[in-house]
């Protein structure tokens, strides 16, 4: 095909160029077309590798949101590097990360997230024998500022509950997030059969499709009972949307975005900053540790694989540190 194109161009230019110039034109054309073919092959191979990696992550139990974030990050990377993913070296990765931060004006936290995704991707390529050695091995964690994320105070919790008291579903959501510490993604996957009101337990499926048992308090039990009494539908989901989807009375399962939006609106209504689902989880962990629960047990409740993650979630109240200092040191 390339030869036909080159011959046609030479034929068109034969009257305009000398023999030596025609030969030079042919050489240039062959080089350009060959480069285009290489780029086309690189692009095809890159997309195939990314696709295989995402499939592997899906099998491991990655959530859809995580999967989509991995895909968008790697697609952007693949377009920018403009070469084979297999041929990328450490210097090219460093250059990419530097330019990424400049172009997107992003924080070190975001940049380190990109680094971790690339590291995971190249580790997989190495393990699957697509490359000999990951170029990410000499690129270390990007330092990020340590920000103390505060838990809700008892006063603010009551303000939030009061603002939600007229909506039985929303109040039940607030209470179960606060007392069980489950993730919002776990909350929306709960079914009616997932909870046992008598034993105040629920079975959740966390990250990596790992199943664990969690617990909630008496107040949450009461609010769940009050909410379930209002349900006239047969949807197996524990929490459903407020609006009917069809004339038959069926409701849709509540989504992560819907819960996040609802909780943000509570924050606006109460004039409390940083009201989001994850903060209820942090509050539960902080409360548990402050009341003396062993960190290993908090780890199990939160569904963390590594205890270091639990330590990041749990902020010990300063007043308790002061009390312990006086008790044990003074």
| CATH 1.10.443.10 segments of the chain | 154-328
Residue 324's pLDDT is 62
Phi/psi region, residue 292 (left: phi>0; alpha: psi -120 to 50; beta: rest), is left
Mean pLDDT over 188-216 rounds to: 89
Q: Kind and range of the H or E element at 242? A: strand 240-244
CA distance 175 to 246: 29
86 pLDDT band, cuts 50/70/90, is confident
Q: Flag whether pLDDT at 54 surpasses 80.
A: yes
The answer to which of 34-43, 161-170, 292-301 has the lowest mean pLDDT is 34-43
- In the chain, where does DSSP find H-type helix? 2-13, 19-60, 64-81, 90-104, 108-127, 154-164, 168-180, 184-189, 218-229, 256-270, 277-290, 295-302, 307-313, 318-328
Residue 284 in contact with residue 180, Cβ under 8 Å?
Answer: yes
Q: Flag whether pLDDT at 249 surpasses 70.
A: no
Q: Flag whether pLDDT at 151 surpasses 80.
A: yes
pTM of the predicted protein model: 0.67
What CATH fold (topology level) applies to the domain 154-328? hpI Integrase; Chain A (1.10.443)
Q: Residue 211's beta-bridge partner residues? A: 205
Highest mean pLDDT among 15-19, 31-35, 321-325 belongs to 15-19
| Helix, strand, or coil (residue 209) | helix
% of the chain with per-residue pLDDT over 70: 80
Q: Flag whether pLDDT at 111 surpasses 70.
A: yes
Mean pLDDT over 14-37 rounds to: 65
Mean pLDDT of the chain: 84
Tokens of 220: 């949450």
312 pLDDT band, cuts 50/70/90, is confident
The answer to which of 112-121, 150-159, 206-215, 234-243 has the lowest mean pLDDT is 206-215
Residue 256 in contact with residue 65, Cβ under 8 Å?
Answer: yes
């Amino acid at each position: 095909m390339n030869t036909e194109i080159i011959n046609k161009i030479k034929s068109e230019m034969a009257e305009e160029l000398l023999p030596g110039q025609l030969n030079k034109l042919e050489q240039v054309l062959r080089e350009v077309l060959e480069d285009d073919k290489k780029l086309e092959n690189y692009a095809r191979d890159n997309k195939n590798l990314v696709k295989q990696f995402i499939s592997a992550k899906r099998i491991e139990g990655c959530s859809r949101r995580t999967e989509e974030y991995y895909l968008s990050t790697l697609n952007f990377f693949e377009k920018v590097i403009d070469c084979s993913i297999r041929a990328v070296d450490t210097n090219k990765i460093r250059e990419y990360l530097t330019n990424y931060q400049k172009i997107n004006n992003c924080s070190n936290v975001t940049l380190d997230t990109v680094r971790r995704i690339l590291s995971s991707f190249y580790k997989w390529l190495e393990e699957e024998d697509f490359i000999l050695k990951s170029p990410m091995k000499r690129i270390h964690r990007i330092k990020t500022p340590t920000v103390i994320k505060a838990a809700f105070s008892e006063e603010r919790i009551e303000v939030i509950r009061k603002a939600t008291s007229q909506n039985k579903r929303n109040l039940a959501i607030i209470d179960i997030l606060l007392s069980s510490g489950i993730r919002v993604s776990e909350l929306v996957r709960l079914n009616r059969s997932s909870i046992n009101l008598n034993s105040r337990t629920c079975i959740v499926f966390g990250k990596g499709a790992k199943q664990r048992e969690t617990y909630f308090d008496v107040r949450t039990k009461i609010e769940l009972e009050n909410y379930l009494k209002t349900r006239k539908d047969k949807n197996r989901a524990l929490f459903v949307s407020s609006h009917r989807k069809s004339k038959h009375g069926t409701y849709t399962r509540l989504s992560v975005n819907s819960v996040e939006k609802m909780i943000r609106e509570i924050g606006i209504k109460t004039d409390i900053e940083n009201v989001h689902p994850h903060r209820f989880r942090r509050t539960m962990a902080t409360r548990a540790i402050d009341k003396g629960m062993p960190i290993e047990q908090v780890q199990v409740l939160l569904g963390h694989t590594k205890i270091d993650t639990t330590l990041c979630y749990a902020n010990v109240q300063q007043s308790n540190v002061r009390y312990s200092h006086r008790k044990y040191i003074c």
